[in-house]
Amino acid sequence: MKRIIWMVLMNLWYVPYGIYHLLRMSSHPERYSLEERFAMIKKIDNRAIKGGRVEIEGHGLSNLPEKNGYILYPNHQGMFDVLAVVQMMTRPLSVVLKKELAEIPFLKQVFACIGAIALDRDDVRQGMKVILQVAEEVKQGRNFLIFAEGTRSKNGNHLQEFKGGSFKSAMKAKCPVVPVALIDSYKAFDTGSIKKLKVQVHFLEPIYYEEYKDMKTTELAAVVKARIEAKIAEADPQA
């Protein structure tokens, strides 16, 4: 919370301007292209990160597929994860989020601008609709981020179980799956510190449909988790 307050204080002159454009675009997203909306969100994101004294160290950007229509699967450490990944992206990215976040002021407008999709984890029927919707949008060239752990880890750089159901959209879309290793992202908002911080974002080699088409979703989940764990162990031996 301290770092969030610091982000706002360091951007006081920009806040009215940023909120104005956020509200304008989120109220009528159909009037703007996804690229325009994402560029505006990324500008706000960049200012927040700089003001919050966080440095994002990106690796493996060349691993992102050249064509749109893929899904990123990062480990989940906290609310800062999306900020870190978005700053590294050169093309629009949407997110699948839990419905509890969909109505939070400011976040609601951000998610509207990037075309995020809310998931009710207690509603199986709605969950299937989301899976199909994401798959269809990915086929049409949209890029998505899905947290396969379902909820953030409370154990630093250590991962929780990756849920097989999170990979059903990728299976149906037959799209590239890109594992993403986040390191120290939890320190941004969960430690109560505003000291300078470096967060690492590692985009790993994509897993193409031909490689996973004969796997079960649980097997693909295990592969993605193992690759992320290996990268974290390599980049941060103390993890």
Confidence of residue 2 (pLDDT cuts 50, 70, 90): confident
CB 159 within 8 A of CB 229: yes
| Two tokens, residue 88 | 């590294």
pLDDT at position 237: 60
147, two tokens: 């947290």
Per-residue model confidence as pLDDT tens digits over 210-236 = 999 999 999 999 999 999 999 999 987
Q: What is the pLDDT of residue 53?
A: 93
Give yes or no for residue 152 having a pLDDT over 90: no
According to the model, what pLDDT value does residue 92 have? 95
pLDDT in tens, 85-127: 999 999 999 999 888 877 788 888 999 999 999 988 778 888 8
Neighbours of 117 (CB within 10 A): 20
Q: Is-contact 201 58, C-beta < 8 A?
A: yes
Per the prediction, the chain carries an average pLDDT of: 92
**What is the pTM for the complete model shown?**
0.93
Q: What pLDDT score was predicted for residue 26? A: 93
Rounded Cα gap, residues 8 and 52, in angstroms: 8
pLDDT in tens, 26-37: 999 999 999 999
pLDDT at 18 over 80: yes
Task: Give 239's pLDDT tier (boundaries 50, 70, 90).
Answer: low
pLDDT band at 137 (very low <50, low <70, confident <90, very high): very high
In the chain, the N- to C-terminal Cα span, in Å, equals 24
DSSP 141-165: T--EE--TTSS--SSTT---PPPGG
